[in-house]
Amino acid sequence: MAELPSSCDTDMKKAAYFYDWLVCNVQYTADENYDSGNPYYLYDTLVGRVSNAVGFSNTYTLLLNLCGVEGFSVYRPEGRERRSDTWNFFRADGFYYQADLLADASIYSLGLGNLNLGFCLSKEALGYEYDAMIQQAAPASDATNHDRDHIDAVAPGIETAHKDLPEILSAREALENGAPYVAVRCNAFENYSWSDNFRVISRWFADCSVDFNMANCGDRICVIYPKK
C-alpha cells in the first residue's frame, strides 16, 4: 500500500495500478507440481513473485480491498479446459467490471509489456462463465464503456471473408507501419481450439507484408505481433 502513488485517487486508478503491478512483477506458472504442493498463494505472489491463476486473482482481491476498492474473485465451473479458471470483479465509477490478470500475464511473458487487454471488461467482452452459485450473488457487469479501450478490431465470426473488414484491414496496415502489436477480439474464438483460430487469423492477415506471430489473450482475444 505504501507504494500506491498519491495520483491514484480514484477506485479505477487504484484498480489499474495494482493490475499493472501484478502483471509486470509476478511470473505465471502452470507447473502441476506447484499446484499440488499446497502453495501459499498470497505469500508466493507477493514475496516469491511466482503464482498460478488462483494466486493472481486472490492477491488482486486482497490489494483492492486493502485500498478500499470493492473486489472479489470468481471461479469457472469444473470441467472447462481453458487457462484462466479464476478471475476478478471490481467496482469503479459506479459500475462493476471484470478483470483477467492471467490473460495479460501470459502476453507479458512474450516481452510485449502489459497490454491491459483483460482489464476493465464487461461480461460480454470477457465471456467467461462462472459457477452457478456465484451467478446468483455476483452483480451484473454489463458496462461496455471500456471494452474496446485496447482492441484494434472486432470480428463478428471466424469466416475467412472477414479479412476484408475495415477494422481488420486497418489492423493489418498498423502492423505494416510499425505497430508493436494489434489485438483482435472475436467472441466465436472461444468455441474453437486456438490452433484452429490461429489458422483463421493467418488467413485474415495473409496479405500483410510483415511476418508475424500470434498469441491468445484469454478466450476471445488474439494478439498479432511482428516476428523479431
Residues 172 and 131 in one domain: no
In angstroms, the CA 124 to CA 147 distance is 9
**Amino acid, single-letter form, for residue 210:** V
Residues 114 and 20 in one domain: yes
Of 41 and 35, more confident: 41
Query: Residue 170's domain spans which residues?
Result: 153-226
pLDDT tens digits, one per residue of 186-214: 999 999 999 999 999 999 999 999 999 99
Indicate whether 1 belongs to any domain. Answer: no
CB atoms within 10 A of CB 36: 8
pTM equals 0.89
Residues 87 and 165 in one domain: no
Residues 129 and 30 in one domain: yes
Residues 113 and 211 in one domain: no
Averaged pLDDT, 66-91:
78
Q: What is the pLDDT of residue 83?
A: 47
Indicate whether 173 belongs to any domain. Answer: yes
pLDDT of 98 higher than 70: yes
Residues 71 and 96 in one domain: yes
pLDDT of 178 higher than 90: yes
**Amino acid, single-letter form, for residue 117:** L
Q: Helix 11-25 and helix 53-66: axis angle, to 10°?
A: 150
What mean pLDDT value characterizes the chain? Answer: 89
Indicate whether 142 belongs to any domain. Answer: no
What phi and psi, each to the nearest 5 degrees, are found at residue 205? -105, 20
In angstroms, the CA 87 to CA 128 distance is 9
Averaged pLDDT, 178-185:
97
Query: Which of 105, 137, 169 delimits the end of a domain?
Result: 137
To the nearest 5 percent, what fractions of the chain are helix, strand and coil? 40, 20, 40
Residues 159 and 131 in one domain: no
Residues 18 and 130 in one domain: yes
Share of the chain above pLDDT 90, in %: 65
Query: Which of 93, 113, 137 delimits the end of a domain?
Result: 137
CB atoms within 10 A of CB 68: 8
Instruction: List b or e across 14-25, with b for residues whose CB sees 16 or more CB atoms inside 10 angstroms.
Output: bbbbbbbbbbee
Is residue 103 a contact partner of residue 125, using CB atoms and an 8 Å limit?
Answer: no
Indicate whether 4 belongs to any domain. Answer: no
Query: Which of 137, 163, 179 delimits the end of a domain?
Result: 137
Give the pLDDT band (50/70/90) at residue 36: low
Q: What is the pLDDT of residue 41?
A: 78
Residues 162 and 130 in one domain: no
CATH assignment at residue 168: 3.30.1370
CATH assignment at residue 112: 3.10.620.30
Indicate whether 5 belongs to any domain. Answer: no
Q: How many domains does the chain have?
A: 2
In angstroms, the CA 36 to CA 59 distance is 19
pLDDT of 34 higher than 70: no
Residues 133 and 174 in one domain: no
DSSP letters for 3-42: TS-TT--SHHHHHHHHHHHHHHH-EE---HHHHTS---HH
pLDDT of 84 higher than 60: no
In angstroms, the CA 53 to CA 85 distance is 7
pLDDT tens digits, one per residue of 142-169: 899 999 999 999 999 999 999 999 999 9
Residues 102 and 171 in one domain: no
Indicate whether 143 belongs to any domain. Answer: no
Residues 182 and 92 in one domain: no
pLDDT tens digits, one per residue of 214-226: 999 989 999 999 9
Give the pLDDT band (50/70/90) at residue 94: very high
